[in-house]
Each structure stands twice: as C-alpha cells, then as structure tokens.
Amino acid sequence: MHRPMCRGQHILIFLYPPSRLGLTSPVGGPLGQVALDASGKNVAEHEPKSVAPIGSSRSRLPAAGGSVSVVQLERAIRSAREE
C-alpha cells in the first residue's frame, strides 16, 4: 500500500534496488515515503513520530515536535549504515 500523493507535494522516497525487470517499490511501504515541507528541505511536521529511526540514530535527531532537515536525515541514515 502506498501513501496518497498530491500534485506539487514534495516527497522523499526510499526505494529498493531495481529488480531484473527494472521494477522497484518503496522500502517498508508507506514508511519508505517521507513527506517534505513546501521548500523540499525539511521533513513535514505532520509526519508520524511513533516510528523510531534504525539503530542509535534516534539520539541524533531532534525530539518529537522538532524540525528535521533533509541534510540531518541524510546524516542520520549514513551514520546508521556505518553502525
């Protein structure tokens, strides 16, 4: 199942590598789709806060209600990959 999208909406989608047929899908279904604000540089405030980032990256991201930039998200993901 996927999250509905609207024209003009900014979304960061984490995709699996393409299959041998060239097809792919979001990692974790709707959890692999992150809504961004209108600037496309920050994670939208209305995103669910109940899903904890992988590994110890939780402490590197602002607490619930804080703003997370795409750059901060990228750093947390890269750091989690190295753990």
Three-class SS string for the chain? Answer: CCCCCCCCCEEEECECCCCCCCCCCECCHHHHEEEECCCCCEECCCCCCCCCCCHHHHHHCCCCCCCCEHHHHHHHHHHHHHC
Which residue has better confidence, 83 or 44? 44
Average of per-residue pLDDT values in the chain: 75
- The reported pLDDT for the residue numbered 62 is 54
Q: Does this model's pTM top 0.95?
A: no
Quick check: 46 pLDDT over 90?
Answer: no
Which residue has better confidence, 65 or 74? 74
Across the range 28-33, mean pLDDT stands at: 83
